[in-house]
């Protein structure tokens, strides 16, 4: 009798557990690589070859679950605005006071790795050009310090990234300290700041906005690299069409 009572109590519990699993919302995976990145026909050879080193991101962002700022009540009514380069209009926006994890919307890797992969893919495309026959591509090492790469429930996408570029010898396969000025290597230090507004409460729109920020960051890096290689006094450049 005891065994029968236990069995009768286990079956309903198991049925409820299976029903809960069946009703769980599906998990959606996203990438920071834009699907509509311009192609090069796979014929152009890159005259720039980037090796991405350190990618430092805030701990709150460096996870697989997509992180958004703000609360449900922060989502306003209205249409999405227009993307633009530059910082967020209010400096530190009000929606940055709280964050939440979207457990059913995830990156394809922890954020730092997802950013590294997406940036590397975009740099490879943006750096493709008709290099002179027999010439070797410039070997470059890139490091990033991400201060913000935020998305909000109200539709704000806000990025602030410092990046440093150092030219390395083509035969150098060692990880020289990137902050070692005594190595005599030329270093280009720049800051990317981007902001745009997309449809509020739309995860796909937020992801697309973040993808565009990655693409603009990569385009700025490439646009700044070529002048700097010819003149180390050349400053940072904003790529045309980046706004």
Quick one: pLDDT at residue 182?
Answer: 42
**SS3 letters across the chain:** CHHHHHHHHHHHHHHHHHHHHHHCCCCEEECCCCCCCCCCCCCCEECEEEEEEEEECCCCCCCCEEEEECCHHHCCCCCCCCCEECCCCCCCCHHHHCEEEEEEEEECCCHHHHHHHHHHHHHHHHCEEECCCCCCCEEEEEEEEEEEEEEECCCEEEEEEEEEEEECCCCCCCCCCCCCHHHCCCEEEEEEEEEEECCCCCHHHHHHHHHHHHHHHHHHHHHHHHHHHHCCCCCCCCCCCCC
- CATH number, domain of 164, equals 3.40.50.10610
Domain for residue 92, yes or no? Answer: no
Domain for residue 81, yes or no? Answer: no
Average of pLDDT values for 101-117? Answer: 95
User: Total structural domains in the chain?
Assistant: 1
Domain for residue 115, yes or no? Answer: yes
* Strand-pair partners of 140: 50, 167
Q: 45-81 pLDDT, tens per residue?
A: 578 999 999 999 999 999 999 999 875 545 444 333 3
The Cα–Cα gap between 30 and 65 comes to: 10
Closest residue by Cα to residue 89 from 156, 22, 175: 156
Domain for residue 134, yes or no? Answer: yes
Domain for residue 2, yes or no? Answer: no
Q: 177 is written with which tokens?
A: 């300290």
Q: 162-178 pLDDT, tens per residue?
A: 999 999 854 444 444 54
Domain for residue 15, yes or no? Answer: no
Domain for residue 7, yes or no? Answer: no
The Cα–Cα gap between 51 and 32 comes to: 18
Least-confidence region, from 11-15, 81-85, 109-113, 217-221: 81-85
Quick one: pLDDT at residue 1?
Answer: 52
Least-confidence region, from 120-129, 165-174, 183-192, 230-239: 165-174
Domain for residue 159, yes or no? Answer: yes
Instruction: Residue 165: give the domain boundaries.
Output: 31-66+98-170+185-230
């Amino acid at each position: 009798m005891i065994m029968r009572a236990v069995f009768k109590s286990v079956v309903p519990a198991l049925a409820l557990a299976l029903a809960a699993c069946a009703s769980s919302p599906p998990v959606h995976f996203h990438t920071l690589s834009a699907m509509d990145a311009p192609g090069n026909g796979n014929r152009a050879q890159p005259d720039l070859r980037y090796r991405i080193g350190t990618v430092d991101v805030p701990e709150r962002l460096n996870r697989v679950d997509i992180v958004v700022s703000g609360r449900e009540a922060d989502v306003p009514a209205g249409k999405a605005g227009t993307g633009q380069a530059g910082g967020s209009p209010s400096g530190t926006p009000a929606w940055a006071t709280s964050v939440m994890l979207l457990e059913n919307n995830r990156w394809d890797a922890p954020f730092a790795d997802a950013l590294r992969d997406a940036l590397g893919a975009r740099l490879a495309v943006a750096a493709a050009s008709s290099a002179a026959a027999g010439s070797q591509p410039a070997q470059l090492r890139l490091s990033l310090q991400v201060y913000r790469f935020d998305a909000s429930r109200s539709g704000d996408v806000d990025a602030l990234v410092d990046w440093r570029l150092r030219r390395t010898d083509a035969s150098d396969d060692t990880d020289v300290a990137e902050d070692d000025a005594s190595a005599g290597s030329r270093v280009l230090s720049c800051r990317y700041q981007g902001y745009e507004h997309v449809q509020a409460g739309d995860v796909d729109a937020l992801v697309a906005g973040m993808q565009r920020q990655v693409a603009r960051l990569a385009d700025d890096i490439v646009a700044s690299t070529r002048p700097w290689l010819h003149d180390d006094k050349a400053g940072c450049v904003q790529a045309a069409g980046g706004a």
